[in-house]
Chain A
Amino acid sequence: GAVVSQHPSRVICKSGTSVKIECRSLDFQATTMFWYRQFPKQSLMLMATSNEGSKATYEQGVEKDKFLINHASLTLSTLTVTSAHPEDSSFYICSAKAPRRGEISYGYTFGSGTRLTVV
């Protein structure tokens, strides 16, 4: 249980175009979704926190007009990279707090990630 499905897994786009990444919680409602970025051999960096029905909270240094986050329903959050540039090439991954099952909390559940290459 507590699966987050992320699509696409890989995308190559031309510089200047926009790319949308989707994360869906399949068997639970995710009121909060976290979006991370990871450069090769580096740790995950939190970009923003999205909450269903409200504006996302962006981390310092992350351009909200470039990385548009929409969390319109309890099961879907999207990240759109607008006017992509080669420096936006990275691994993007989403995460949601997994629901408690009785007394057990499973922490966080992660999407499978999206490898974006901007050419």
Chain B
Amino acid sequence: KNEVEQSPQNLTAQEGEFITINCSYSVGISALHWLQQHPGGGIVSLFMLSSGKKKHGRLIATINIQEKHSSLHITASHPRDSAVYICAGAFNFGNEKLTFGTGTRLTIIP
């Protein structure tokens, strides 16, 4: 069964702290996605990874294929980073369906 698990479910931190959100998946994937869902519901695609590491501004995503694990890091966190972060795996090559984790609700306190 294709599964994606995230931790923690909820995370509260002070502004400026370094944030790490973890994602593990049950079987091999073709790509791992990190998404950000804002309080209003809109979803933004942050990263798509199949290996290594990607960086965009203060966001860094890494993936370890052997350990079936990915992390999303936020440096110098800011209250505007408060959102739900979701990892999702594309499990079948040629099949574009995503399996979603339950999300991590991040709150950054000023």
Residues of A in contact with B (beta carbons under 8 Å apart) = 32, 34, 38, 42-44, 46, 49, 91, 93, 95, 97-98, 105-110, 112-113, 115
Check A107 against B48 for contact (C-beta < 8 Å).
yes
Check A113 against B31 for contact (C-beta < 8 Å).
no
Assuming the contacts A43-B86, A107-B31, asked whether A93 and B43 have C-beta atoms less than 8 A apart, the reply is yes
Q: Does B13 count as interface, using CB distance less than 8 angstroms?
A: no
Q: Does B98 count as interface, using CB distance less than 8 angstroms?
A: yes
| Assembled-state Cα–Cα distance A85/B41 (Å) | 22
Q: Does B44 count as interface, using CB distance less than 8 angstroms?
A: yes
| Assembled-state Cα–Cα distance A44/B103 (Å) | 10
Interface string of B95-108 (1 = CB under 8 A from A): 01110111100000
Q: CB within 8 A of A46: which of B44, B48, B97?
A: B97
Check A110 against B48 for contact (C-beta < 8 Å).
no
Q: CB within 8 A of B100: which of A44, A97, A106, A109?
A: A44
Q: CB within 8 A of A110: which of B40, B45, B102, B103?
A: B45
| Assembled-state Cα–Cα distance A112/B43 (Å) | 7
CB contacts (< 8 Å) of B40 on chain A: these are 112-113
Interface residues on B, range: 10 to 19
Residues of B in contact with A (beta carbons under 8 Å apart) = 31, 33, 35, 40-45, 47-48, 86, 96-98, 100-103
Assuming the contacts A32-B96, A43-B102, A97-B96, asked whether A106 and B42 have C-beta atoms less than 8 A apart, the reply is no
Assuming the contacts A34-B97, A107-B33, A107-B48, asked whether A43 and B41 have C-beta atoms less than 8 A apart, the reply is no
Residue of B nearest to A57 (CB): B97
Assuming the contacts A43-B102, A43-B103, A46-B97, asked whether A106 and B45 have C-beta atoms less than 8 A apart, the reply is yes
For the complex formed, measure the closest distance between the CB of A37 and the CB atoms of chain B, giving whole angstroms.
12
Check B98 against A113 for contact (C-beta < 8 Å).
no
3 residue pairs, one from A and one from B, having the closest CB atoms: A107-B48, A110-B43, A113-B41
Check B45 against A46 for contact (C-beta < 8 Å).
no
Residue of B nearest to A113 (CB): B41
Assuming the contacts A97-B96, A113-B42, asked whether A106 and B48 have C-beta atoms less than 8 A apart, the reply is yes
Residue of B nearest to A105 (CB): B48
Please name 7 further chain A to chain B contacts, defined as beta carbons within 8 Å, in addition to the given A46-B97, A95-B43, A110-B44, sorted by A numbering. A34-B96, A34-B97, A42-B102, A43-B100, A105-B48, A108-B98, A110-B43
